[in-house]
Amino acid sequence: MSNLIAQFETDVSEIKQFWQSDRQKHLKRPYSAEKVAAMRSSVHIDYVSSVQGNKLWQLLNKHRKEGTPLLTFGCVDPATASQMSRAGIEAVYVSGGVSALQVADEIGRDHADYPSDTVPKVVARLFKSQLFHDRRQKSYYLGRSPAEQAEIPIYDYLLPMVADGDMGFGSVTAIMKQTKMFAEAGTAMVHYDDLAIGLKKFTEKVGRTVVPLSEYLRRLTAARFQLDVLGSEMLLMSRVDCYHAEFITSVVDTRDHKYVRGATVAGVEPFIRAMNRALERGEDAAEARSRWLQQAKVMTFPEAVKQVATAEDTCTKRAHKQL
């Protein structure tokens, strides 16, 4: 048996064992351990994101048991990160929105239009600074007398970082690359959302546009597959933005249908035409859109059926179901 096959078999059994662990066993993966093992590199690499991921996992579980939230805020610079440790904050959030405003080469609002390695690079820099403060604290402490040591407060400078992966900046391969960058950088958890690429808006803005569920699941699966290939225990958060979303790029996935609203007034002017006409006339877009929403009486398909179905229709439907 060649070395490659022996290594492949060891990897497969290690992956299967890992998938049985408490943290993993509830996850349903649409790929096999063999597929993952075949993609693993021949040298074993320990990613520090596993240490940080496990630390955050313990922390989140402690909060879950105690019924408390883990509160933090966005930070993109080393000085703030070290002060957060000293202030007793337990984790750091590395925001895409703040990275866009503070560290991207072309400064802008939260449109997720900066290069995909922007946030991973911020995390990598913060992690190096965390390590620096950690080493510095230790050497300072060890160089003091026992009496002095008793007076020195000890901080946890290695706070786990939760990073913003936005929508993954592309399709499957782009997400795999970004996930790898995050894992290498020392990220504890990354979140990917279901927003359409190029249509990210800052939360307060209208017009939030999401992708079909199947596309979102492909994003998450790509990220999970990469973590499995790397053997990294970085956490993956599904942060959906469908709450208050107004548009979806396609209704190809039937699982989305019950949430999709459409015009129910026959002959109403199509939305896009009404908006274009309003913009040509120089009208306020927000007003035009709410006027159209009122005229079109938008509702989901089940809501529309409920409005017109009689008791008899419902009985007939039930009777059909029973046949």
Ligand X SMILES: C[C@](O)(C(=O)O)[C@H](CC(=O)O)C(=O)O
Q: In angstroms, what is the minimal distance from the CB of 92 to ligand X?
A: 12
Rg (CA), the chain: 25
Give CA separation, 14 vs 6, 8, 34, in Å.
12, 10, 11
What dihedral angle (degrees, nearest 10) is formed by the CA atoms of 115, 119, 121, 124? Answer: -160
Residues 136-195 within binding reach of ligand X (CB under 6 A)? 164
Q: In angstroms, what is the minimal distance from the CB of 239 to ligand X?
A: 8
Choose between 133 and 200: whose C-beta lies nearer to Mg ion.
Answer: 200
CA–CA dist 87, 71 (Å, integer): 12
The answer to the question of residue 160 lying near Mg ion (CB under 5 A) is: no
Backbone φ and ψ for 161, nearest 5 degrees, come out as: -105, 135
**Helical pair 48-66 and 172-185, crossing angle rounded to 10 deg:** 90
User: Which listed residue (11, 90, 164, 215) binds Mg ion by CB under 5 A?
Assistant: 164
The answer to the question of residue 97 lying near ligand X (CB under 6 A) is: yes
The answer to the question of residue 233 lying near Mg ion (CB under 5 A) is: no
User: Which listed residue (95, 137, 179, 209) binds ligand X by CB under 6 A?
Assistant: 95
Choose between 138 and 205: whose C-beta lies nearer to ligand X.
Answer: 205
Identify what 203 binds: ligand X, Mg ion, none; CB under 5 to 8 Å per kind: ligand X
Identify what 184 binds: ligand X, Mg ion, none; CB under 5 to 8 Å per kind: none
List all residues 6 or more positions away from 301 whose beta carbon is below 8 Å from its beta carbon: 257, 258, 260, 262
User: Which listed residue (31, 140, 202, 247) binds ligand X by CB under 6 A?
Assistant: 202
Q: In angstroms, what is the minimal distance from the CB of 200 to ligand X?
A: 7
Size of the site for ligand X (CB under 6 A): 9
The answer to the question of residue 203 lying near ligand X (CB under 6 A) is: yes
**Helical pair 213-230 and 172-185, crossing angle rounded to 10 deg:** 40
| C-beta neighbour count of 176 within 10 angstroms | 20
The answer to the question of residue 74 lying near Mg ion (CB under 5 A) is: no
User: Which listed residue (35, 74, 264, 275) binds ligand X by CB under 6 A?
Assistant: 74
Of 8, 161, 149, nearest in space to 81 by CA: 161
Identify what 74 binds: ligand X, Mg ion, none; CB under 5 to 8 Å per kind: ligand X
For 192, the 3-state DSSP assignment is: strand
The answer to the question of residue 96 lying near ligand X (CB under 6 A) is: yes
Q: In angstroms, what is the minimal distance from the CB of 49 to Mg ion?
A: 19
Between β-strands 92-94 and 161-164, what pairing exists: parallel, antiparallel or unpaired? Answer: parallel
Q: Which amino acid is at 209?
A: T
Q: Flag whether 105 is marked binding.
A: no
The answer to the question of residue 97 lying near Mg ion (CB under 5 A) is: yes
The answer to the question of residue 242 lying near ligand X (CB under 6 A) is: no
> Which parts are annotated binding residues for Mg(2+)?
164
